[in-house]
Chain A
Amino acid sequence: MAEKILMKGNEAIAYAAINCGCDGYFGYPITPQSEVMETLMKEKPWETTGMVVLQAESETSSINMVYGGACCGKKVMTSSSSPGISLMCEGISYLAGAELPCLVVNVMRGGPGLGTIQPSQGDYFQTTKGGGHGDYRNIVLAPASAQDMYDFVDLGFELAFKYRNPAIILGDGVIGQMMEKVELRPAKARRTDEEIKKLCASWATIGKTADRKANTITSLALEADVQERFNIKLQKKYAEIEANEVRYSTYKTEDAEHLIVAFGCMSRICENVVELAREQGIKLGLLRPITLFPYPKAAIDALVPQLKSIMSVELNAGQMIEDIRLISNGRVPVNFYGRQGGMVPSPEEIFEAFIKTIK
């Protein structure tokens, strides 16, 4: 049996990065995710796998280091928390516009502005709808445990390279700060220069050789028609991601008459809400989107006919609920319960709110 280690979600990100053959991490300290870089610095992976770890001068610089590393076909990543991610959004738009693979981890805290350092899910819109300028999408994974944090690093890189697109792990202060046991996976070696050449030579800036044309990585097109053609290509890619990469899980939805939809730490808390309801004979189920883009539209749509109500439970003022309402399209009431600014509700508190919506 693989070894199980007690670690914080943030530490899991760092260990997973080293373990899955990440080439470079570039970051800037911010609570509640500073343990990611602290763990990497403590572990000194440059002495073992050769992974580069660098504390940048800002989040802006971090994401642009990621851009530079991604241009070289390397598996590169950064992590931050909400205000830092806002700074990175320009860079993420460039990465999407240049079709570069990378991994960004957001351990969300309360906003807007400098906000609080407590857990939040207030960046749902920012992350799933873009965040930076222009028509682009991120692949968004929402972890609900330290194990997810660990596993989604490798998964995030796989998806990022499969689609040459930024992937974002959208965690929160609960998942980042909480310790749980994490089962370590078999290590993957970093890609060799030869492997990178084989995989990325058609686009990466790894040195122009006589057998190919020079590669240029840019997101610039001065002519509108060229830009439009590119944007249409991007949209096709996003449609492909929506067709192939939806991930979600359900809990007691088979006979459910009511459904809670919640992601990340809230999905864990809402499992207890399902139990509280079931104790009272109320047929409540839970759907947890694991990918927030692509969103599990079909899964929710298929449940709608059996439901009397849906409740979206989020650590924000109601963001994901808009996606659920689009899917429900008026067929069933879609209610909301959320806390903001870093407050995290208990299962009992959510259950009370849920009961009120169905009476």
Chain B
Amino acid sequence: MSNSEIDILKRALAREKAARKAAEKILESKAYELYVISEQLKESNSTLEKLVKEKTLELKGVFENIIDAYVVIDLNGDVIKMNDPAIGLLGFDNSNKASNVFSIVESSEADNVENAFKRLLYDGYLTNFEVKIKTKSNIKKLVHVNASIILDDNNNPIAAQGIVRDITASRKAEDNLIESENRLASLILNLDSGIVVEDENRKIVLTNKKFCDLFDIQDTPESLIGMDCAIASQYTKKLFADPDAYVEKSNDIFKNKTTILGDELTMIDGKILERDFVPIITKNESKGYLWTFTDVSIKRGFRKSLEAQRQKYRNIIANMNLGLCEVNTDGIIIMTNQSFLEMSGFTDAELIGKDAISIFTDLSEADILVEENKKRNKGESNSYELKVKIKSGEERLWLISGAPHYSINGEIVGSIGIHLDITELKMLQLQKENLVIELEKSNDELQEYAHIVSHDLKSPLRSIDALISWIKEDNKDKLDEVSIENFKHIETTLEKMELLISDVLEYSSVGFSDQEKNLVNLDDVVHGLIDMMYKPDHVKVEVLNKLPILTGDKTKLQQVFQNLISNAINFIDKDQGFVKIKVEELPAHYQFSVQDNGMGIEEKYHDKIFKIFHAVNKSKDSTGIGLSIVKKIVDLHDGKIWLESKPNMGTTFFFTIKK
């Protein structure tokens, strides 16, 4: 081997060595680079790891600390995990891991929950699910659930997590809101005032039933929405007494857009509407215009009649002839009317604010007023007489009708007295009483007088009769027949005269009752009378039915029958005569009749015969007073007497006696 060769080899070796060295150096630096990178990676990995850890922790904290309830369940519904609000909301006992969410669902919600759970499994999530639950502590709640499925590494569902919110209260509030909106709507619909809300363009936004009624619109309120008010008013104006003024005014009001209250409209049928116009402005923005129409006819009518009544009573008070005086509870005069001023002689100024007692009464009468005022304050009303002294100093007698005066609140604020001056009346009454007493006295005197006169008139008759008897006795056999006949005439005349005097006395005595009215059994009385009376053989007197028992003066009633029966007997001119007595019961009276078949009485005398001294046929036993006495007695018994008669056929006297 040559050096050259060796050199060549040596040089090749050296170059090889150098190349290796260079490669080693490169490798070394690459290895270092790698190291640095791997160090860097290592570092960033740990940072990431830390970050992930932090985030997980953070998330965990969020779930645990969120206010809403957070629940993780397995696919059977068993709770795996939940936060404190969940415990509170669902009422689970934290320690009891076996809690199952299906166990707290209301039984009625079972299907709902089943469907929702299927949806959750299928979609992987569930939102806005609402369900009613009943917690372990037995509280019913409405809850809102948002849930999602948790998957494992192989994308298989292993659990579900959800956020549960209690919406019981908010739902209730929502319901309330809806309800109150409904209420409001129905209120507007059924309001007793007609309502129209229109927008800027006069289109109807809202109206109600009453409006339709008032304006005689057949359509429903809803169908009017969108209608143009200006056009509508052209149709409705005919309902108003002055249609054009109505339209014009409506347009003016709308143009001005200011609130108008209590505008009155008279309708053609006499109804009166009160109209309000109110712009609705919220936050400076116009929301429309509210028209309100209210039927005030009745109210107006009340007010009118109230006013009329008030005027009426005011006029009565002002013009009545009764004095009116109002005092307060202390007896101070508050108000008087014209008549009171006239009767008292004072002026208004002299009375108002003064004490009524001290003005009008002296000490002796003051007590009465004090007593009456007490009654007023107790709420009693009554009438009393009071001696007062009026301004002229004259003493007058007043009849006062007092009544308590109440305030609107019902408390007594004084009394109102109506005063009537009865001084003259009282005097008249006293006069009347005196007159009655005097009349009674003079009646008694008259009665006495009648007796004395009749006595004085009868005495001479008796004396004449005695004297004639003596003359006849003393001159027995000396008198001729004519003289004896004349003496007889004198005696008959005396008898007639005595009868006349007796009848006149009796007639004048009929009005004076010696006896009180008693129950009289007329049947007994009349039968007794007939037995006692003189009856000629050819006359039959009979009572056809049973006579009643009634209240009256027995002697006088007997007199009536006696006079009528004896009259009937006296005037019988037939061979066979009868007198029939009968009674008929009327509602308030008994009607008696005495019928005969005598000579009868001509009709022209029917009234006359009851007048004193009007005997139609003068006879020995008739003075013409008998029927006058009968009439007077019947009158005294509140009855009537009349007759029916046919000449030559007979007469029936009818008379009634009050039951």
Q: Do A and B associate with each other?
A: no
A residues with CB within 8 A of B: none
B residues with CB within 8 A of A: none
